[in-house]
């Protein structure tokens, strides 16, 4: 069985950047978000990632960097290779891949 290896940025903004590797079984048509949800369910429930819908590209919550390019994790396709995931660089980092997406005037405090 083929696998995808995800190098995921972990930690908070106060910590030095580090990446952890996770391997997941590759299935054609699977999204990066599917793989992240599988990692949370089966390998590391502490992985922080934002999403509000599945494969709809409507909420914009799952935006991140995939190999340096901005993508929606729900529409980016998983590939049987090493893929590097980082949080958006222009947003405030909460933890791991989770950043503050909504502008300050749209957030509930």
In 3-state terms, what secondary structure has residue 89? coil
Q: Return the CATH number at 42.
A: 3.10.20.30
Q: What percent of the chain has pLDDT over 70?
A: 88
* Distance separating alpha carbons of residues 55 and 36, to the nearest angstrom: 13
- Please give the structure tokens belonging to residue 85: 């995931």
- Enclosing domain of residue 87: 3-99
For tokens 């995931």, the residue is: 85
pTM of the complete model: 0.89
Whether residue 57 is contained in a domain is answered as yes
User: Is it the case that residue 1 has pLDDT exceeding 90?
Assistant: no
In 3-state terms, what secondary structure has residue 104? helix
Q: Which of 50, 84, 91 is nearest to 69 (CA)?
A: 84
Averaged over 72-89, what is the pLDDT? 96
Whether residue 107 is contained in a domain is answered as no
Averaged over 57-81, what is the pLDDT? 90
Whether residue 22 is contained in a domain is answered as yes
pLDDT reported for residue 9 = 97
DSSP conformation letters of 22-84: EEEE--TT-BHHHHHHHHHHHT-TT-----SSSS---S-TTEEEETTEEEETTTSBP-SSEEE
Interstrand relation of 18-25 and 63-66 (parallel, antiparallel or unpaired)? unpaired
pLDDT reported for residue 57 = 58
């Amino acid at each position: 069985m083929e696998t995808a290896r995800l190098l995921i940025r972990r930690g908070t903004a106060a910590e030095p950047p580090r990446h952890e590797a996770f391997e997941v079984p590759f299935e054609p048509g699977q999204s990066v978000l599917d793989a992240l949800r599988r990692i949370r369910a089966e390998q590391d429930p502490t992985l922080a990632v934002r999403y509000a819908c599945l494969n709809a590209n409507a909420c914009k919550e799952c935006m991140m960097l995939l190999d340096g390019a901005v993508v929606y994790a729900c529409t980016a396709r998983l590939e049987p290779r090493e893929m590097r995931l980082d949080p958006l660089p222009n947003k405030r980092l909460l933890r791991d891949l989770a950043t503050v997406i909504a502008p300050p005037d749209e957030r509930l405090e």
